[in-house]
Structure 1
């Protein structure tokens, strides 16, 4: 959801290719639910009404907190304005826990923050599990930690769920049937209803709404879990617009992801963790060798595809390819060897504000930090500005 940093972990290459063979269906995915955070800035009631009336959005899930100290500064206004627009409201906490004790502490922090922000009792307060901390744990450890968080969060009167990526579900953690909110972004939306046994499928992070700036994460609801226990008396008023806008969103997803191209990138990286060097830019490509942590890698090109950011390493007998991290958090596995000037994110900052302050284009700023302008930034995070 990104980190919403939020780090949106996306579909693996094999699953993406599978989607291509399932056939196109412009009506396959609906914009039932939107999730927002401080990265989206202030969202007015009018914007939420537009989402509801023109796009058929039923529910909004807002970022509440992250780790053990960060409180989303827009949570309270988002909650109030979504409710004023007559839609269901839920929340999520970006998890940083690595132990059971940390999970319980974060749940207490998230629950208290949600109460203060006005999240109503019986709303869902999901744990967003996609951090490097979780990536470093075993499936059993993540399962234990997630269970502890969800059990604790229910003490505040909230319903629990897990958000994670399709590549992590039942791999990095167990997602049982009739639970879970799964993110998987295909090149094209297939005729098959993805993750139909789970509560929700987040199928795009770049949806556009008529009177709102930027791209948004949108999900199709496969159950009433995220709309249960609350009352919504207001319905979409323009059914034709809802159909047309949903068709457009489904169509645009292929245009956004199919345009990936190799770009020149002459950089030196130092690996944080062991990474597989492959014969091609795909997780299904053969492994040449496993490069241990601390290895220095010089690259000449980069590309985002199949859910990962790949770099190409010139070798004496050709090229090797390695993933620097998920596509939405492109420097997760490596450190850049280049000298940079950094800016430390403060409360209330946004991509636009930081870019303006440092005389940069907002997209350029995000890109040179291995992110997009739709990735949420958080206080204390260091961004490369030079």
Structure 2
């Protein structure tokens, strides 16, 4: 995982990063994890990951210790859900005692709730810091158990992420649990850690429309897909290999580089907002749009501490700072009449979400239910 404090790569892992472009199609890209290091990630980027590369699940960094909350967690969760991905979270642990583990779990659970992580999602503890490396296996096991028990009080399912060299050495990772990282020298079709929930096999995979390298994992169970078998498959089976090869030639772009993303939407302003000539608070003011104004946008970006949108205008564009860089908008979407879907025999939250283009979390929540609620043929679901 790309974290504030990450263990140094071993020689094997370093070599793996060099060879990933050669045989990167040996493992599936079932799950991607993201953090503030990846910058703002748009819904369109997650849709590309899902449709082109077969990504099924997204695991978002939520917090670290008891002092850091990831500023991109809320937008990653919302945009991942909008793309139809199963969304989970992780917390980077620093605890060395049972009391500290409980305190970090409380901090992570509250941060996850605030960021919109849905009840029932996985909230894993990422245990790979120097602090845990100095502890006994028994102590780490006790602390991890305390964290996971506490996190369940928030309605989340728990798991442990760690490196292969630490699994069942620095801490116990039982069968059918755990998310284990291990980067081989060369991908040659073999599978690692098949007895666990997931194997993170790369920390430098690339996607067609996203900058930078990403952590990707192959799933062996349905734990990170809410107990459901995802039917998502890549449209281009060679995409992982081809894009890693190309990305290895162009590694100068930082993953946090600000980038415009397509956003064709209509909003109604809650408050008066200055319309500027550029996406900067130092740009000249064209006019002040009063509360209640309707704004149609075509692009969005996060830079300079704000989230900006671009409004097409006669002879050019106007730019509005809609909120802080954590993607909290100052405007609200215009209302629309409801559309409905009638549940048919054999339908599930996942299949309906796939058919309608919604995330199953959004679909369930806007109908006052969870993805674990039973639906019956003939039920009418609100789509918008």
Q: TM-score range by the shorter chain?
A: 0.5 to 0.7
Alignment of 1:143-222 (within 5 A): 143-222=141-220
CA offsets 1:352-385 (integer angstroms, 9 cap, x no match): 99xxxxxxxxxxxxxxxxxxxxxxxxxxxxxxxx
The residue number in structure 2 matching 1:83 is: 81
Provide the C-alpha distance between the structure 2 equivalents of 1:214 and 1:206, rounded to a whole number of angstroms: 8
User: Are 2:52 and 1:58 equivalent residues in the alignment?
Assistant: no
Provide the C-alpha distance between the structure 2 equivalents of 1:68 and 1:137, rounded to a whole number of angstroms: 20
With over 3 angstroms needed to count, the CA separation of the structure-2 counterparts of 1:221 and 1:254, relative to structure 1, is: farther
Compute the displacement of 1:136 (Å): 1.4
The residue number in structure 1 matching 2:36 is: 38
TM-score (norm 1): 0.59
CA offsets 1:107-133 (integer angstroms, 9 cap, x no match): 011001101110001100000001111
Match of 2:113 among 109, 112, 115: 115
Superposed CA RMSD: 3.0
User: Are 2:249 and 1:246 equivalent residues in the alignment?
Assistant: no
Provide the C-alpha distance between the structure 1 equivalents of 2:126 and 2:145, rounded to a whole number of angstroms: 13
The residue number in structure 1 matching 2:103 is: 105
Provide the C-alpha distance between the structure 2 equivalents of 1:198 and 1:244, rounded to a whole number of angstroms: 26
User: Are 2:125 and 1:127 equivalent residues in the alignment?
Assistant: yes
Q: Tell me the secondary structure at the aligned position of residue 218 of structure 2.
A: strand
The residue number in structure 2 matching 1:5 is: 4
Unaligned runs of 5+ in 1: 257-349, 354-386
Compute the displacement of 1:8 (Å): 5.1
Query: Which one scores higher on RCO, CA 8 angstroms, separation ≥ 6?
Result: 1
With over 3 angstroms needed to count, the CA separation of the structure-2 counterparts of 1:170 and 1:43, relative to structure 1, is: same
- Give the aligned length: 250
Counterpart contact for 2:56–2:85, Cα < 8 Å = yes
Compute the displacement of 1:188 (Å): 0.9
Compute the displacement of 1:192 (Å): 1.9
Q: Tell me the secondary structure at the aligned position of residue 238 of structure 2.
A: helix
Compute the displacement of 1:190 (Å): 3.1
CA offsets 1:32-89 (integer angstroms, 9 cap, x no match): 1000001111100011011111111111100000001110000001000000000100
Answer with 1 or 2: which has the greater Rg: 2
Counterpart contact for 1:11–1:165, Cα < 8 Å = no
Alignment of 1:202-281 (within 5 A): 202-229=200-227, 235=232, 239-241=234-236, 243-248=237-242
Counterpart contact for 1:63–1:91, Cα < 8 Å = yes
Unaligned runs of 5+ in 2: 251-301, 305-384
